[in-house]
Amino acid sequence: MKILVTGAAGFLGCRLIHSLLAGGPGVRRVSTVIAADTSRSPIEDPRVDCRVGTIVDGNFVDSLLDADVHVVYHLAAVLSGQSEAEFDTGMRVNVEGTRGLLEACRARGTAPRFVFSSTVAVFGGDLPPVVPETLALRPQTSYGVGKAIAELLVGEYSRRGFIDGVACRLATVTVRPGKPNSALSSFVSGVIREPLAGIDAVCPVPLDTPIWVSSPRTVTANLLHAGTMDTAKLGDNRSLNLPGISVSAGELLASLERVAGPEVRARVRVERDDRVARAMCGWPAALDATRALSLGFTADASVDGIVQEYIKDSTKGLRS
């Protein structure tokens, strides 16, 4: 089987490709992974076909797809912070780039599985404590608007039979290794990752700010499942609230203290950043993931488990 992954050089893209190549229960045998991104994928494997370019380039996108591509994982995106700072760039990549990729799938006439990484930021406004899938989308950031538009496109292209789409609304992925990225939620990983490395960190939101989170391992497993699940069970709603854990920023830091000790927790100070706080307070505190769980998607057991998983992977040198 041939699979296309956009955003392949990123953190989630690398984890997803490693898992696809490793196989295992529920993962089909992969012959080739086309790894597309603006920089070369760091994964060295003869089954990985690296392509460097941008999804806003129609010729590049056309070169990625042929009739043998059975599954497309569309992870490429301009993240929330950059989308707010660079409106045109965000819309060009997150909306026009996604539409171009969908059109390329349509032109092949093979209706590949199309797994789209969406976000909790498609919701906004006056939110209930637990947000159902059926709540009207009222995003309050440019990033959320772009993702909401793309979700509608995935649903429409699926309705027309051009693709077999699944839009996965991901929780904030924590703990991400490496350096901070341009996501407004980047601090959620930073307040765990940096103190564990002996570096001071800043929490830019009030400690009672609720955050919907999921571990890299669980998110990767759920993306894999979206690529193989029986989509007939989705009906006409192709967008899924994926499982997560609702924790406050304070509870996240309390977990850090329980797992790593008070001296590590003491490396984090709270300094409100209004731009980040406004965005995070406008995102859901929790999603109703009942349907996703019934369809075989999974959730993390606890926030302590997420922190412990990161420490374990860091000790093993698993940075991607």
pLDDT at 1 exceeding the cut of 90: no
Structural domain that includes position 18: 2-173+214-241
Supply the pLDDT for residue 173: 95
Q: Hey, which residues are catalytic here?
A: 143
Phi-psi sector, 7: left (phi>0), alpha (psi -120 to 50), beta: left
pLDDT tens, 233-290? 999 999 999 999 999 999 999 999 999 999 999 999 999 999 999 888 889 999 999 9
Judge whether 141 lies within some domain: yes
Residue 9 CA: distances (Å) to CA of 33, 98, 240, 249, 295: 12, 18, 25, 29, 29
pLDDT at 156 exceeding the cut of 80: yes
pLDDT at 226 exceeding the cut of 80: yes
Per cent of the chain over pLDDT 70 is 97
Domain count, the chain: 1
Judge whether 44 lies within some domain: yes
Judge whether 207 lies within some domain: no
pLDDT at 319 exceeding the cut of 70: no
Supply the pLDDT for residue 28: 73
pLDDT tens, 158-186? 999 999 999 999 999 999 998 888 888 99
pLDDT at 231 exceeding the cut of 70: yes
Judge whether 307 lies within some domain: no
Q: State the average pLDDT over residues 5-22.
A: 95
Q: How far is 91 from 50, CA to CA, in rounded Å? A: 25
pLDDT tens, 55-65? 999 999 999 99
pLDDT at 101 exceeding the cut of 80: yes
pLDDT at 26 exceeding the cut of 70: no
Judge whether 162 lies within some domain: yes
Mean per-residue pLDDT over the chain, rounded: 94
Supply the pLDDT for residue 316: 65
Supply the pLDDT for residue 235: 93
Judge whether 100 lies within some domain: yes
- Prediction pTM value: 0.94
Q: State the average pLDDT over residues 118-137.
A: 95
pLDDT at 112 exceeding the cut of 60: yes
Supply the pLDDT for residue 66: 86
Count of beta carbons in the 10 Å neighbourhood of residue 174:
27
Q: What is the pLDDT confidence band of residue 314, given thresholds at 50, 70 and 90?
A: confident
Question: What's the CATH number where 77 sits?
Answer: 3.40.50.720
Q: What is the pLDDT confidence band of residue 25, given thresholds at 50, 70 and 90?
A: low
Judge whether 10 lies within some domain: yes
pLDDT at 115 exceeding the cut of 60: yes
Judge whether 234 lies within some domain: yes
Supply the pLDDT for residue 36: 97
